Chain A
Amino acid sequence: MDISAQGNVIKKKRKWFDKPQVAEDSHYWKPKSEVWVWLAAAAYGLALLLNIIIPSQEVLDPHGYRVLLAAFIVLFVGVYLIALKRLQLRKKLYHKAQFIFALGLALAAWDLLTDKFEILPLPFFPSISEIIRVTIDDRALLLKSMLFSLRLFFVGSIVGAALGLVTGVLIGWWRQWDYWLAPIIRISGIIPAVAWLPIALVIFPTSFTTGVFLIVISSWFPVSSMMAGGIISTPKSYFEVAKTLGANEKFLLFRIAIPNAVPAMFTGITLAAAFSFTTLIVSEMVGAEAGLGFYINWAKGWGVYSKVYAAIIIIAIEFALILAVVGAIRNYFLRWQRGILK
């Protein structure tokens, strides 16, 4: 074999028990063994098998759950096959494999504890088959509730964030605004927005406008204070450079101070999204006639806890999507930071 040629790598045939050829990585630091990938797939297979062979206690339709498990196994194997060719994906897969494995076992355990042996009390702890079944059955109302909540969230948080941006800039740039506005915003930040709920319900004509109002106050404070902080923290040298290049005050604000505040602003917007979402669900649970919060309350009223779980899972997915969208917008605006931060 020619080993004198530079860059020539001698390839050894891998045995199945060999450690994977993945280097240590600070981000994906858990690439213990390829075995975990197989164990993870096996865990879902086990969950599926147990669901099929052990008879269920309740009369219900387990097909949704079984399809989901099967789909997951197929997806997982698919990702594994793609990952064989892509190092970065392989690292990620190996890193996550243990967690995915544990999740599979947890699903199987939950199935045994609920539907199969009814160890956990019903109706508070429904099986996943049941949750999936009611989600499919009630999809029209769930979708309507989801869209209603999303609408409320977007209207409220866009208005709140816009207000926060404007007041943040005013407070950060002019000390008169800081003097008069900063204390008010600070106080409004201390009081949880939902504390205003009884008063807001009386003042505003509809439950929708009440919700908007509460979300506006919960997103106003984080955006405003982070924006102001970002502007105040602009290095003096940036202003000095800009002044010697012919900048007037307007230019200093819009081309130096505000761009400098953008990273902090996005931190504020992310915080605002979290606060708003909490406020949204709580306000819907109390005053609204629609939305996911309302749905949870309504399902609880009927004692259908599987629907409560369905709504909770949808809330989690919805909020994760919202954060992903905010993150994508953030990455676009902060593309200049790529490579500076971890």
Chain B
Amino acid sequence: MSEFIEIKDVNRIYRDAFGGSTYALKDINLSIARGEFITFVGPSGCGKTTLLRLLAGLDKPQSGILKINGVQITEPSFKRGYIFQQPTLFPWDTVYENVAIGLKARKVYQEKKHSIKNYIDMIGLDGFENSYPHEISGGMAQRVAIIRALINEPEVLLLDEPLGALDAFKRIELQNLLLKIWRQTGTTMAMVTHDVDEAIYLSNRIVIMTPRPGQIVDVVKVEILGQRNRNNDDFIALRKKILKKLHLVISDEELPEYVI
């Protein structure tokens, strides 16, 4: 039986105006199981966002195949929700209208509009339904962006550094929200981050990538017993292990970025 998501021999090359070319992704092979929470870490330019965009169908590889449920990914679909680093809410729509967009685009608004309120309640934004995006905070806006994708009940949620623009307190709050959503809905999560702690805290597996060319150097399983406390011994040991891996693959002066 084939895996839920399969990435096979994928290459994505960017060509510049002078005939040069950069491997954003080189020979990527990975499979993701249904219900998994997988994170991609690595320095900028390692192709982690490119990989996520390929999974969403927002970009196409030069060679190789990406499949979900055995079907090749060729274009964007509501079945693969995508969360950007910026909330990218539509400024002319209220919070409610923004969440409703997916249902309206799929023409299922009338049957499913009752669920909008549940989702808004879940992120604690009841009472803000009629607010416009500029009237709410960045953390609130990102929560709206998350449920805007969730309302379509996607098979997988692709998260491109969704918490990168938030402060430390909001980050932890939203990490817990993501965990709650993952446990409640069982949605497969694939998330790009540059925060090793965040990756350990949230995911089952961590994919470590390096730039020039963008490659996967290792996939680390997160096996922590009990609650994922950031000061838990297993947690600290795993953090050390990953940082060591990153240390092996990046030069010393780039390292401090990853010591959190």
With the chains together, A260 CA to B88 CA distance in Å?
A: 13
Q: Does B102 contact A (CB under 8 A)?
A: yes
Q: State which of A245, A338, A339, A340 has its C-beta within 8 Å of the C-beta of B149.
A: A245
Q: Does A246 contact B (CB under 8 A)?
A: yes
Q: Does B232 contact A (CB under 8 A)?
A: no
What's the minimum C-beta distance from B151 to chain A, rounded to whole angstroms? 8
Residues of the A chain whose Cβ atoms lie less than 8 Å from the Cβ of B244: none
Q: Is the CB–CB distance between A246 and B134 below 8 Å?
A: no
What's the minimum C-beta distance from A252 to chain B, rounded to whole angstroms? 9
With the chains together, A248 CA to B58 CA distance in Å?
A: 14
Q: State which of A238, A246, A339 has its C-beta within 8 Å of the C-beta of B88.
A: A238
With the chains together, A84 CA to B135 CA distance in Å?
A: 32
With the chains together, A256 CA to B78 CA distance in Å?
A: 16
Interface residues in A296-342 (C-beta closer than 8 Å to B): 336-340
Q: State which of A238, A243, A245, A259 has its C-beta within 8 Å of the C-beta of B152.
A: A245
Residues of the B chain whose Cβ atoms lie less than 8 Å from the Cβ of A336: 91-94, 132, 134
Q: Is the interface of A mostly helix, strand, loop or mixed?
A: helix
Please give me the residue from chain B that is nearest to A335 by CB atom: B132
Interface residues in A219-265 (C-beta closer than 8 Å to B): 237-238, 240-248, 251, 255-256, 259-260, 262
What's the minimum C-beta distance from A152 to chain B, rounded to whole angstroms? 33
Interface residues in B131-153 (C-beta closer than 8 Å to A): 132, 134-135, 148-149, 152
Q: Which of A240, A244, A338, A340 has the most CB of B within 10 A?
A: A244
Residues of the A chain whose Cβ atoms lie less than 8 Å from the Cβ of B56: 244
Q: Is the CB–CB distance between B102 and A238 below 8 Å?
A: no
Q: Does B45 contact A (CB under 8 A)?
A: no
With the chains together, A94 CA to B88 CA distance in Å?
A: 42
What's the minimum C-beta distance from A251 to chain B, rounded to whole angstroms? 5
Question: Which of B79-87, B183-191, B205-213 is the contact stretch?
Answer: B79-87
Q: Is the CB–CB distance between B105 and A260 below 8 Å?
A: no
With the chains together, A94 CA to B81 CA distance in Å?
A: 55
Residues of the B chain whose Cβ atoms lie less than 8 Å from the Cβ of A259: 90, 92-93
What's the minimum C-beta distance from B152 to chain A, rounded to whole angstroms? 6
With the chains together, A162 CA to B106 CA distance in Å?
A: 29
Residues of the B chain whose Cβ atoms lie less than 8 Å from the Cβ of A340: 91, 134
Interface code A74-118, partner B: CB below 8 Å = 1, 0 otherwise? 000000000000000000000000000000000000000000000
Q: State which of A238, A245, A260 has its C-beta within 8 Å of the C-beta of B148.
A: A245
What's the minimum C-beta distance from A341 to chain B, rounded to whole angstroms? 10
Please give me the residue from chain A that is nearest to B80 by CB atom: A244
Q: Is the CB–CB distance between B152 and A241 below 8 Å?
A: no
Q: Is the CB–CB distance between A243 and B149 below 8 Å?
A: no
Q: Is the CB–CB distance between A246 and B102 below 8 Å?
A: yes
What's the minimum C-beta distance from A324 to chain B, rounded to whole angstroms? 23
Q: Does B229 contact A (CB under 8 A)?
A: no
Interface code A262-291, partner B: CB below 8 Å = 1, 0 otherwise? 100000000000000000000000000000
Please give me the residue from chain A that is nearest to B134 by CB atom: A340
Q: Is the CB–CB distance between A244 and B149 below 8 Å?
A: yes
Q: Is the CB–CB distance between B132 and A242 below 8 Å?
A: no
Q: Does B76 contact A (CB under 8 A)?
A: yes
What's the minimum C-beta distance from B243 to chain A, rounded to whole angstroms? 32
Q: Is the CB–CB distance between A246 and B132 below 8 Å?
A: no
Q: Does B113 contact A (CB under 8 A)?
A: no
Residues of the A chain whose Cβ atoms lie less than 8 Å from the Cβ of B68: none
Residues of the A chain whose Cβ atoms lie less than 8 Å from the Cβ of B78: 244-246
Q: Is the CB–CB distance between A256 and B90 below 8 Å?
A: yes
Q: Is the CB–CB distance between A248 and B90 below 8 Å?
A: no
Residues of the A chain whose Cβ atoms lie less than 8 Å from the Cβ of B105: 242, 245-248, 251, 255
What's the minimum C-beta distance from A246 to chain B, rounded to whole angstroms? 3
Please give me the residue from chain B that is nearest to A248 by CB atom: B105
- List 18 A-B pairs, Cβ < 8 Å: A237-B84, A237-B86, A237-B88, A240-B76, A242-B101, A244-B78, A244-B149, A245-B81, A246-B78, A246-B102, A248-B105, A255-B104, A259-B93, A260-B92, A262-B92, A336-B94, A339-B132, A340-B91
Residues of A within 8 A of B (CB): 237-238, 240-248, 251, 255-256, 259-260, 262, 336-340
